[in-house]
Amino acid sequence: QVQLVESGGGLVQAGGSLRLSCAASGRTFSTYAMGWFRQAPGLEREFVAGISLGGSRTYYEDSVKGRFTISRDNAKNAVYLQMVSLKPEDTAVYYCAAGGITGTQNYADYNYWGQGTQVTVSS
């Protein structure tokens, strides 16, 4: 079992940057594919980025390609989401998730979730 805790959210102006972190408990972190999702008010939770077990493969939703970078450090049991050139439409609660299928964009394929961290981008 994995417990996930996100941090790093906040309020930033359009064009700014944030780095989200997700700390995982448990000895089996490196056996899980990891993903970041986001959910804006009134909208469905959507896939943002995913990363393979060892970190060699990454996947992105089209609207964040070139702006967001997902990475992981298995020695630290952590996954990160570096976000640059932020836009108001990036405003959402961002969730870290762990699952068994690398790159899947289906939230049902992820078994463990954090509590979320709010990202607000002002125009």
How high is the pLDDT of residue 1? 84
Q: What is the pLDDT of residue 26?
A: 80
Cα distance between residue 106 and residue 46, in whole Å: 8
In the numeric block, which tokens belong to residue 114? 């954090």
Q: What is the pLDDT of residue 105?
A: 92
Strand 110-113 with 33-39, pairing: unpaired
- The pLDDT of residue 27 is 77
- Phi, psi of 12, deg, nearest 5: -140, 150
Q: Where does residue 107 rank: exposed (0-12), middle (13-18), buried (19+ CB within 10 A)?
A: middle
- pLDDT at res. 102: 86
43-101 confidence digits (pLDDT tens): 999 999 999 999 999 999 999 999 999 999 999 999 999 999 999 999 999 999 999 88
Among candidates 20, 16, 18, 17, which has minimal Cα distance to 34? 20
pLDDT band at 33 (very low <50, low <70, confident <90, very high): very high
End-to-end CA distance of the chain: 40
Amino acid, single-letter form, for residue 5: V
Q: What is the mean pLDDT of the chain?
A: 95
Can you say whether the dihedral through the CA atoms of 39, 119, 50, 85 is positive or negative? Answer: positive
**Which residues are CB-contacts of 91 (< 8 A; sequence separation ≥ 6)?**
40, 119, 120, 121
